[in-house]
Amino acid sequence: MTLIAFGQTGQVATHLAELGVTCFGRETADLNNPAACTRLIETTDCTGVINAAAYTAVDKAEEQEGLALTINGHTPGAMARACAAKGIPFVHISTDYVFDGSGDTARTPDDSVAPIGAYGRTKLLGEEQVRSAGGRHAILRTSWVFSAHGANFVKTMLRLGADRDRLTIVADQIGGPTPAGAIAEACVTIANRLATSPGASGTYHFSGAPDVSWADFARAIFEDGGITCEVADIPTTDYPTPAARPLNSRLDCTTTTDVFGIDRPDWRAHLRDILQDLAKA
């Protein structure tokens, strides 16, 4: 199967490239230009497409919702329609931010959506447009992505923890940290399955296990990274941000396992591997 991906420097795209997927950046196909992305799909000899690119600046999206709507909403829709016209699979990465973050149970793909901020609204539009395109597709919602590449919570904690004796970290937001490499592998597996089983099209969840708070995630990073830094729990209300964050980011990934045979990755094992890679860098 000949797969191409939108996104070149992001965490998931970096791992897709390592898996042999041809990844395109904005200089080839700018996500702010849906027509350019459509042309790339139409003119490329590909048999499947993965969209690993997005507007992910959650706070800035509150002020730049129009731009985020194009990149996260209209452009994925254009990609999906181009794939539908060619009869090839389209895998689109989405987010837990399409939910309102209420409750304390894991959300299933069929649960009602109600985003609480601009970023979530733009990603929800993307989901809706991908579904309405009518082709074989998979929307893969994930959360708390981390890797040895790019900017993420793990690298931020390593930097801050090395300089400080104590950090205050939010403890009432709960979710599953998800290794970018595992997301990339899941996307490739799903695309290959859709090529032969279009009936597997739908919305799926994929996040790391076990679910944990940001504060406890930070403690694990410091422990495995050999960093002596105290973590003090604080509520979200003590760490105000321009965009509201969901308190409950738990995702029920049962259908992803049932349909594709993909289990939730153990983020603790992946964290140790990533820390080893960063130590060698």
Of the candidates 209, 175, 198, 168, which has an alpha carbon nearest to the alpha carbon of residue 259? 198
Tell me if 254 is assigned to some domain.
yes
Structure token pair of residue 210: 């076990």
List 97, 119, 204, 239, catalytic entry? 119
- Whether 51 shows a pLDDT value over 80: the answer reads yes
Tell me if 72 is assigned to some domain.
yes
Count: domains in the chain: 1
Tell me if 124 is assigned to some domain.
yes
Segment 198-217, tens digit of pLDDT? 999 999 999 999 999 999 99
Known catalytic membership, residue 119: yes
Segment 212-267, tens digit of pLDDT? 999 999 999 999 999 999 999 999 999 999 999 999 999 999 999 999 999 999 99
Identify the pLDDT of residue 26: 87
Parallel, antiparallel, or unpaired: how do β-strands 212-213 and 202-205 relate? unpaired
Tell me if 112 is assigned to some domain.
yes
Tell me if 240 is assigned to some domain.
no
Of the candidates 114, 144, 150, which has an alpha carbon nearest to the alpha carbon of residue 205? 144
Segment 108-145, tens digit of pLDDT? 999 999 999 999 999 999 999 999 999 999 999 999 99
Q: Mean of the per-residue pLDDT values for the chain?
A: 97
Question: Which residues form the domain of 73?
Answer: 3-148+179-210+249-266
Tell me if 156 is assigned to some domain.
no
> Other CB atoms closer than 10 Å to residue 9's CB: what's the count?
13
Q: What is the CATH number of the domain that holds 50?
A: 3.40.50.720
Tell me if 155 is assigned to some domain.
no
Average pLDDT over residues 5-23: 96
Tell me if 70 is assigned to some domain.
yes
Identify the pLDDT of residue 246: 97
